[in-house]
Every structure is written in structure tokens, then in C-alpha cells.
Amino acid sequence: MSQAKKTKKPKRDPNEISPLVAEAVASVLELCDQLKAGVPIEQIARVTILRRPVEATEYGPDELKDLREKLSATQADLCSFLRVSLPTLRSWEQGQRKCPKVVCRYLDDIQAYPQIWSDKMAKGE
């Protein structure tokens, strides 16, 4: 079997930068100069702030138990998945404590995309 000869890439001069990098650096330096001169950023660049509302379903004891049953999960499974202790999950399921919004948001995602749950459980995570 003949092997194709590997062509070596010419070595680059470490002091040389690509034209693309040079252009990016020049743009950043120009931006810095304008900001130092007091030009408002809104006049230099377009600034867009995107906010996604993070509404979450409120999971009461019944909803939490129903979801767990829908997922065919034990309390231990859900605890492992959410990285919470068994007493914590039980306190949510018994209505002693409210399920935190961040957990509720995550549970919403699991309901919307059940493959997340399936993949994690298949990997034993």
C-alpha cells in the first residue's frame, strides 16, 4: 500500500498575524478610542438586550407527584436528577416547602422535552 505524502504546512512567523485578526484588533482599538473620547456606545454600535421571560409553572405537591409518576421515576431517581436530597424532595411533595422556581423551570423543560429525562436516565446521570 502506498501512502500519500503528507505535505507540511509552512511555519508561520510568530510575529505575523492574519489579516482577519489584524482587522479585529484594529476595530477593537478604534472602539476603545471612541469610548475614551466620551462617545456614547449607542452612537458607535448597535446595542440589543434580549430578555426572555422566565415564567415557570408552580409545582405544588400534587403536580410534582403527577410529573414524577408520568416520568415513571422514583423519588430517588428525581432526587439524583435534580441533585437534591430525598428530604428536600419529600418536603416539596408534602407541601411543607415550595418547589424553587429554578427547579420548576427545569421541570417545565423536562415536560416540554422528555428526551432530556430519557437521555439522562439512560446515561445513569
**Average pLDDT for residues 8-36, to the nearest whole number?**
82
Q: Domains in the chain: how many in total?
A: 2
- Residue 41 shares a structural domain with residue 69: no
How far apart, in whole angstroms, are the C-alpha atoms of residue 97 and residue 87? Answer: 11
> Do 118 and 66 belong to one domain?
yes
Choice between 124 and 92, residue whose per-residue pLDDT is larger: 92
Ranges of beta strands (E only) in the chain are none
The residue count of the chain comes to 125
Residues 41 and 89 grouped into a single domain: no
The dihedral built from the CA positions of residue 86, 91, 97 and 99, taken in this order, carries a sign that is positive
Residues 43 and 68 in one domain: no
Decide if pLDDT at 12 tops 80.
Answer: no
At 7 the pLDDT is: 66
Asked whether residue 117 carries a pLDDT value surpassing 70, the answer given is yes
Q: State the average pLDDT over residues 18-22.
A: 83
**Cα–Cα distance, 54 to 81 (Å, whole number):** 21
| Same domain? 41 vs 65 | no
pTM: 0.55
What are the pLDDT digits (tens) for 85-106? 999 999 999 999 999 999 999 8
Closest by Cα among 69, 106, 103 to 89: 103
